[in-house]
């Protein structure tokens, strides 16, 4: 029994679920268990009603992509809920991919600047940042700092970017345009987003080849995931037909609690293969590392916390290779 239905990307253009009320408070796991999210069934079910299919990861079936060879993966870490480990995952996954030898750019698109801070930089003291890139259209290469991976920094004025952008033509494509300059220099661009589905996050979705959603096992919000998918469906329809959820990563997992295990069960029941097998366990290491201005891979290289993100990186790379192989065969 699927609790929610999400749109198969190749299917009918209308989302199968109605947008849920924004004002609805997040639902603790217990409530999620007893009270399924309010899902209004459509009058007409689209025929091959694929239950629980979130749009599959990037389909590179257009000519541009086919000729590009191994294209840059622009992965957006998104979840409009705060504190689910978006920033932690952006940094540690990025550094793990770096360790594997990939060229990685991290983009801090959150005005709170936590990603920037977690690499030992002070967003309050930064003069030029993603704000200037998006609003004043300065080249992104001018604000990239070399840290554990390359990092396009945020500053506090990024908080004004949504308002400034909203009056601009092409406001949803500012990040996509900015990335064009440096795209070929990276294998992976990971974009950290604010806890909202506003214009900054939309910019990230428009630039993305795929979206990874970190979810917190302690406080699972299926409703939030439906909202996120609805926003992605709108972006697909109007701005970027290739974007979709390519994976869900369970964070703050505590295998000793029934609660955590149930959260995983619910996720797998609803999203199947989209849920990465790697689970990020709950440990204070993830909070300690950024205080030292480093990833957990640098802070405690041989620890289990670092290993978890290495494992996630391997899982993501393997999925990409399988996908690229399938595409190559399709174009052969």
Cβ-based burial of 148 (10 A; exposed 0-12, middle 13-18, buried ≥19): buried
Residue 99 C-beta: closest distance to Mg ion, Å: 22
81 binds Mg ion (CB under 5 A): no
Residue 229 C-beta: closest distance to ligand ADP, Å: 18
Residue 287 C-beta: closest distance to Mg ion, Å: 13
Closest-approach residue to Mg ion (CB): 87
Interface residue with ligand ADP, options 55, 143, 252, 267 (CB under 6 A): 252
- The interface with ligand ADP within residues 171-230 (CB under 6 A) comprises 195
Q: Among 246, 267, 264, which residue's Cα sits nearest to residue 254?
A: 264
Q: Name which of 282 and 310 has its Cβ closer to ligand ADP.
A: 282
CA 56, distance to chain mean position in Å, is: 14
Interface residue with Mg ion, options 114, 116, 230, 295 (CB under 5 A): 114
User: Binding segment for Mg ion among 81-89, 178-186, 229-237, 259-267 (CB under 5 A)?
Assistant: 81-89
In the numeric block, which tokens belong to residue 162? Answer: 């949504």
Interface residue with Mg ion, options 9, 81, 86, 282 (CB under 5 A): 86
CA distances from 278 to 67, 79, 133, 214 (A): 33, 18, 35, 12
Are the CB atoms for 280 and 89 separated by under 8 Å?
A: yes
User: Binding segment for Mg ion among 72-80, 82-90, 173-181, 261-269 (CB under 5 A)?
Assistant: 82-90
CA distance 213 to 79: 6
**Sign of CA pseudo-dihedral 195, 198, 199, 205:** positive
Q: Name which of 16 and 97 has its Cβ closer to ligand ADP.
A: 97
Q: Among 268, 245, 200, 197, which residue's Cα sits nearest to residue 75?
A: 245
Interface residue with Mg ion, options 53, 79, 80, 87 (CB under 5 A): 87
Q: Pairing state of beta strands 104-108 and 73-77?
A: unpaired
Whole-number CA gyration radius for the chain: 19
287 binds ligand ADP (CB under 6 A): yes
- Residue 72 contact partner, candidates ligand ADP, Mg ion, none, CB within 5 to 8 A by sort of partner: none
Phi-psi region of 246 (alpha: psi -120 to 50; beta: other; left: phi over 0): alpha
- Residues ≥6 apart with Cβ < 8 Å to 243: 55, 58, 205, 206, 208, 209, 210, 211, 232, 235, 236
- Residue 186 contact partner, candidates ligand ADP, Mg ion, none, CB within 5 to 8 A by sort of partner: none
84 binds ligand ADP (CB under 6 A): yes
88 binds ligand ADP (CB under 6 A): yes
- Residues ≥6 apart with Cβ < 8 Å to 116: 108, 122, 123, 126, 129, 151, 153, 154, 155
85 binds ligand ADP (CB under 6 A): yes
Q: Name which of 8 and 123 has its Cβ closer to ligand ADP.
A: 123
Residue 117 C-beta: closest distance to Mg ion, Å: 10
DSSP three-state, residue 3? coil
CA distances from 281 to 113, 160, 218, 254, 320 (A): 24, 35, 11, 6, 24
Q: Name which of 125 and 284 has its Cβ closer to ligand ADP.
A: 284
User: Binding segment for Mg ion among 5-13, 107-115, 286-294, 309-317 (CB under 5 A)?
Assistant: 107-115
Residue 199 C-beta: closest distance to ligand ADP, Å: 18
Interface residue with ligand ADP, options 114, 201, 209, 278 (CB under 6 A): 114
Binding site for ligand ADP (CB under 6 A): 82-88, 114, 195, 251-252, 280, 282-283, 286-287
Binding site for Mg ion (CB under 5 A): 86-87, 114
């Amino acid at each position: 029994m699927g609790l929610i239905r999400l749109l198969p990307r190749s299917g009918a253009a209308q989302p199968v679920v109605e947008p849920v009320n924004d004002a609805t408070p997040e639902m603790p796991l217990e409530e999620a268990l007893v009270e399924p999210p309010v899902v209004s069934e459509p009058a007409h079910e689209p025929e091959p009603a694929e239950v629980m299919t979130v749009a599959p990861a990037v389909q590179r079936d257009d000519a541009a992509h086919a000729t590009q060879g191994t294209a840059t993966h622009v992965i957006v870490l998104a979840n409009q809920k705060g504190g689910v480990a978006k920033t932690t995952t952006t940094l540690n996954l990025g550094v793990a991919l770096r360790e594997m030898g990939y060229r990685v750019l991290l983009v801090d698109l959150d005005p709170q600047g936590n990603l920037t801070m977690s690499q030992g930089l002070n967003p309050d003291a930064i003069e030029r940042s993603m704000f200037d890139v998006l609003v004043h259209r300065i080249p992104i290469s001018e604000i990239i700092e070399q840290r554990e991976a390359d990092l396009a920094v945020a500053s506090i004025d990024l908080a004004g970017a949504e308002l400034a952008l909203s009056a601009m033509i092409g406001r949803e494509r500012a990040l996509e345009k900015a990335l064009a300059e440096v795209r070929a220099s990276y294998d992976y661009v990971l974009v950290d987003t604010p806890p909202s589905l506003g214009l900054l996050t939309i910019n990230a979705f428009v630039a993305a080849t795929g979206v990874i959603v970190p979810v917190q096992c302690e406080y699972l919000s299926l409703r939030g995931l439906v909202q996120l998918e609805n926003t992605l469906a709108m972006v697909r329809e109007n701005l970027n037909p290739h974007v979709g959820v390519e994976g869900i990563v369970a964070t703050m997992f505590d295998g000793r609690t029934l609660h955590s295990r149930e959260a995983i069960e619910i996720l797998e029941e609803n999203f199947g293969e989209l849920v990465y097998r790697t689970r990020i366990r709950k440990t204070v290491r993830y909070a300690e590392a950024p205080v030292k201005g480093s990833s957990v891979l640098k802070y405690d290289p041989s620890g289990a916390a670092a290993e978890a993100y290495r494992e996630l990186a391997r899982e993501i790379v393997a999925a990409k290779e399988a996908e690229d192989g399938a595409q190559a065969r399709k174009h052969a």
